[in-house]
């Protein structure tokens, strides 16, 4: 395994202070490098702190701590290391950075299944045979076809993210789904409330919870979209609302896709309910706690819905009345 994040060791070699560190020439075993810092005495000698600063500069300039160079010059990079790099890059890249919710889901996939099973393997060894073994384990554990497909898709993204300086994949793969025995996702179960159950929930709810549940049932909005609504997103007659942001774990963010930006028409009864609920408010979140901050989905579920009325993701089901 290659050493990462080197700072180098300062030592005396003859009349010179030198910094020693490991280099990894492409296609060769690692070598112990030694670079001069300054003379031990006389003209050009540096203080202890200055020697350390200069040593850091030398090590940094060598490129041994550059992740891109490390990946290109050695096959020792592990799936776990590349996964960590991939998640950080996906969040911070300028072109289509992933949303926090997606990153959270990917991190859970990595922690629960991918790193425990693939983490210590060299990235170069993650291939069709590796995935075939992983898929068999997940199938034996009772994971759904959709979950297996999601986990395998993330593995593919991680392997494909290892690029050379020309942007070409270092470990190109031709994935064979038949060989991997990847399950086919057919009809998915989408938990929803029956109209009768939704009516009971509305009768039981009070205050803004009741208005929120009515809005979810009457429009099919996602819970995060509803909790991200502000008064400004409603038309003056409350018959139309505009979706242009959502709420995730208390943070307001833009929707995942362009298609999520849309206008939704409301029924007259629902519009009247919202108009009465908004009253004379001119700004702020449509649904908020006492501090004016977004409501917590978790708290809403625990406060207003019994366990058997929540779906497996802990989110509200988008059922219309």
CATH number of 173's domain: 1.10.150
Element (H, E) at 304: helix 297-304
pLDDT of residue 32: 85
Q: What integer pLDDT is reported at residue 313 of this predicted model? A: 41
Are 37 and 86 within one domain? no
Domain co-membership, 162 together with 245: no
For residue 56, give its domain range: 9-73
* 106 & 156 share domain: yes
In a domain? residue 261: yes
Residues with pLDDT less than 70, the chain: 1-5, 25-29, 64-76, 187-195, 197-198, 304-321
pLDDT digits (tens, 9 = 90+) for 138-154: 999 999 899 999 999 99
Based on the fold, state whether residues 158 and 204 are members of the same structural domain.
no
- Give residue 101's pLDDT: 83
Quote the pLDDT of residue 310.
52
Last residue of a domain, one of 49, 73, 97: 73
Q: Is residue 130 located within the same domain as residue 37?
A: no
Q: Walk across the sheet containing 16-23 and list its strands.
A: 9-13, 16-23, 31-39
How does 156-195 read in b/e, with b if 16+ C-beta sit within 10 Å?
A: eebbebbeeeeeeebbeeeeeeeebebbeeeeeeeebbee
Are residues 92 and 146 located together in one domain of the fold? yes
- For residues 11 and 34, what is the distance between their CA atoms, to the nearest angstrom? 9
Tell me if 163 is assigned to some domain: yes
What per-residue confidence (pLDDT) applies to 217? 86
Task: Kindly report the CATH number assigned to the domain that includes residue 232.
Answer: 1.10.443.10
pLDDT at 309: 54
User: How many helices and strands in the chain, by DSSP H and E?
Assistant: 13, 7
Instruction: For residue 140, count other CB atoms closer than 10 A to its CB.
Output: 8
Residues with Cβ within 8 Å of 85's Cβ and at least 6 positions away in sequence, in order, are 67, 161
**In DSSP terms, which residues pair with 78 in a beta bridge?**
122
Quick: pLDDT tens for 71-97: 655 556 889 989 999 999 998 888 888
* pTM attached to this predicted model: 0.58
Residue 320 belongs to a domain: no
Using CA atoms, how far residue 296 sits from 102, 248, 284, in Å, is: 18, 9, 16
- Residue after which a domain boundary falls, among 146, 180, 214: 180
Confidence (pLDDT) at 300: 80
Residue 206 has a CB neighbour count (10 Å cut-off) of 9
| Judgement on whether residues 28 and 69 belong to the same structural domain of the protein | yes
**Is residue 319, in this structure, part of any structural domain at all?**
no
Work out how many domains the chain is built from and give that number: 3
């Amino acid at each position: 395994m290659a050493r990462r994040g080197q700072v180098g060791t300062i030592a005396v070699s003859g009349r010179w202070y030198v910094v020693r560190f490991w280099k990894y020439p492409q296609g060769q075993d690692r070598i112990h490098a030694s670079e001069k810092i300054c003379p031990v005495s006389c003209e050009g000698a540096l203080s202890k702190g200055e020697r350390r600063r200069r040593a850091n500069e030398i090590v940094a300039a060598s490129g041994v701590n550059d992740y891109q160079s490390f990946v290109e010059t050695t096959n020792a990079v592990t799936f776990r290391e590349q996964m960590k790099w991939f998640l950080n890059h996906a969040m911070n890249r300028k072109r289509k950075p992933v949303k926090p919710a997606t990153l959270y889901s990917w991190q859970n996939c990595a922690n629960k299944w991918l790193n425990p099973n693939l983490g210590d393997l060299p990235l170069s060894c993650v291939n069709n045979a590796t995935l075939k073994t992983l898929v068999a384990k997940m199938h034996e554990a009772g994971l759904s076809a959709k979950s297996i497909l999601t986990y395998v898709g993330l593995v593919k993204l991680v392997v494909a993210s290892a690029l050379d300086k020309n942007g070409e994949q270092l470990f190109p793969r031709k994935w064979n789904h038949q060989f991997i025995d990847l399950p086919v996702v057919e009809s998915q179960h989408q938990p929803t409330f029956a109209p009768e159950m939704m009516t009971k929930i509305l009768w039981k709810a009070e205050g803004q919870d009741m208005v929120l549940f009515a809005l979810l049932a009457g429009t099919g909005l996602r819970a995060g979209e509803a909790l991200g609504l502000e008064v400004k997103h409603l038309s003056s007659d409350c018959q139309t609302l505009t979706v242009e942001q959502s709420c995730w774990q208390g943070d307001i963010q833009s929707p995942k896709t362009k298609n999520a930006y849309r206008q939704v028409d409301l029924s007259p009864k629902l519009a009247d309910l919202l108009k009465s609920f908004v009253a004379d408010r001119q700004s702020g979140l449509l649904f908020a706690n006492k501090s004016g901050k977004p409501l917590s989905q978790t708290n809403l579920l625990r406060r207003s819905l019994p366990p058997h009325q929540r779906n497996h993701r802990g989110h509200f089901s988008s059922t219309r009345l």
